[in-house]
Structure 1
Amino acid sequence: MHIKRTDAGHIAFCQPELKPITPDWFTVDYWQDLGGITGSSKGRYTTWFVDPQPITANTKVQWVLRHYYRGGMMEKLSRDAYLYTGLKRTRAFAELKLLEQLFNEGFAVPKPVAAQVQRSGMHYRGDIIIERVEGAQDLVAQLSKSPLNEHQWQTLGALIAKFHQRGVYHADLNAKNILVSSDSFTLIDFDRGELRKPSPKWQQANLERLLRSFNKEKGKLPKLHFSEQNWQQLLAGYAKS
């Protein structure tokens, strides 16, 4: 990971050819002016899909641009400002570093591109850019249209087990943070994720969080293709790994 200083903070980037990167790359207006916005994903906040071809000449990939926003009670105090306690502890740089390590180790995560931190006094704001997983959709979108088969559920369970065995803690493991493309799955959004000593306690809590998310989505969409049998199939794949 390479780091460069900017007028307002720092930018980290994962490929040497991205050295010309500037803070503009992390703004929606910049990409709109270039005609590079290709879509968006709207949840609590908007994540943007951009085509970097105008500046990288790479026509084979798209990027995902995400700004860091607060949640919960802290959102009422500040929408997107975090207390600065060191560059490596910022959410943007920590997530980029974790993604870079996991991607280089062959884990099913998006390829990291860059992150920026902009300071203002004791606080900072952050953004991250990753590569978009081509042809994939989140698991809720998939299950709203068609079911997964037993092999796919077991494959997903085995994938989660692989992350857990490595000590990868995903702070928000839910159905929308799992992308699916055919029989291939990718975990996304590693904000506040970390490597920790494997332990049945946090691993089980991670799985329970995922189950709650499935049940929550099922409550919102009763026709969602998810059942207790599917969950047991996932657990069977998890246990086999």
Structure 2
Amino acid sequence: MQIIISPQGAIAFCHPTPDTISSNWFTMEYWQQKSAITGSSKGRYTTWFVKPDLSVGDDNQWVLRHYYRGGLMEKLSKDSYLYTGLNKTRAFAELALLVRLYNEGFPVPKPVAANVERHGLHYRADIIIERVEGAQDLVAKLSKSSMSDSQWQQLGSCIAQFHQRGVYHADLNAKNILITEDQFYLIDFDRGEIRNPSTKWQTANLERLERSFNKEKGILSTLHFTQENWQALMAGYSKG
């Protein structure tokens, strides 16, 4: 991971070259002007899908995400954070974690770049990752069709491998898990970190995931999720 420092902040990048990357990459308007926006994902805020120029050496789609606050802090500032050092910013910390996990072969999106812009004692930030081709999140998947027991077990085994490595996912929920034809991926590692493996936080992680499935089931009663599915996931988790 390389870093470009400027008076306005800093940009970290993985494979683009310094003579092509700029802070413009982290704005929706830049890609809109190039007619490069291919779609979006709307939650509390919008995440943009863009197709970068061939001139920067990549024909894959990218995901552009701005960092927003949640909870009570959102009422004070929706996207401003206290600056306590570059490596402690949410964007750089997430990018560094993704670089480590991606290089170790874990099923995570390929990291591209992160941007931090300082404003006095505070900063705002953005991250770009590669979009996982052919993937959909589990809520979208389960709203249309069910998964087999072997797939649920595969998911449980996937989560176990992250936990065995000590990977703490701060928001492990059904929408932060992607599925392709043959692979599960974990996404959105904001506030994630490497910890010493511990039954306490690992169990809390799993309980959070189960609550998210039940919450989505409450929203959409036809969602293909049952307690039997959860038991299959836990069976795969136990086997690792």
TM-score scaled by length of structure 1: 0.98
Aligned twin of 1:29: 29
1:184-195 alignment runs, 5 A limit = 184-195=183-194
User: Displacement, 1:126?
Assistant: 0.2
Counterpart of 2:133 in 1: which secondary structure?
coil
Change (3 A) 1:73 1:147: same
- Take 2:101 and 2:124, find their aligned partners in 1: how far apart are those partners? 24
Query: RMSD between aligned alpha carbons?
Result: 0.9
User: Displacement, 1:41?
Assistant: 0.2
- Take 1:19 and 1:113, find their aligned partners in 2: how far apart are those partners? 15
Q: Does 1:14 align with 2:37?
A: no
Between the aligned residues of both structures, percent identity stands at 69
Change (3 A) 1:77 1:55: farther
Counterpart of 2:144 in 1: which secondary structure?
coil
Counterpart of 1:164 in 2: which secondary structure?
helix
- Take 1:137 and 1:72, find their aligned partners in 2: how far apart are those partners? 26
CA-to-aligned-CA distance 1:27-62 (integer Å, 9 cap, x gap): 000001111100000001000000002542432x10
Aligned twin of 2:114: 115
- Take 1:97 and 1:57, find their aligned partners in 2: how far apart are those partners? 22
- Take 2:57 and 2:192, find their aligned partners in 1: how far apart are those partners? 32
2:20, 2:56 within 8 Å by CA — same for their partners in 1? Answer: no
User: Displacement, 1:15?
Assistant: 1.3
1:154, 1:234 within 8 Å by CA — same for their partners in 2? Answer: yes
1:64-213 alignment runs, 5 A limit = 64-213=63-212
Count residues in correspondence: 240
- Take 2:221 and 2:10, find their aligned partners in 1: how far apart are those partners? 46
Counterpart of 1:142 in 2: which secondary structure?
helix
Structure 2: segments with no counterpart, 5+ residues: none
Q: Which amino acid aligns with 1:30?
A: Y
Structure 1: segments with no counterpart, 5+ residues: none
1:2, 1:16 within 8 Å by CA — same for their partners in 2? Answer: no
- Take 1:19 and 1:134, find their aligned partners in 2: how far apart are those partners? 27
User: Displacement, 1:181?
Assistant: 0.7
Aligned twin of 1:239: 238
Counterpart of 1:58 in 2: which secondary structure?
coil
- Take 1:94 and 1:220, find their aligned partners in 2: how far apart are those partners? 33
Counterpart of 1:144 in 2: which secondary structure?
helix
- Take 2:24 and 2:119, find their aligned partners in 1: how far apart are those partners? 17
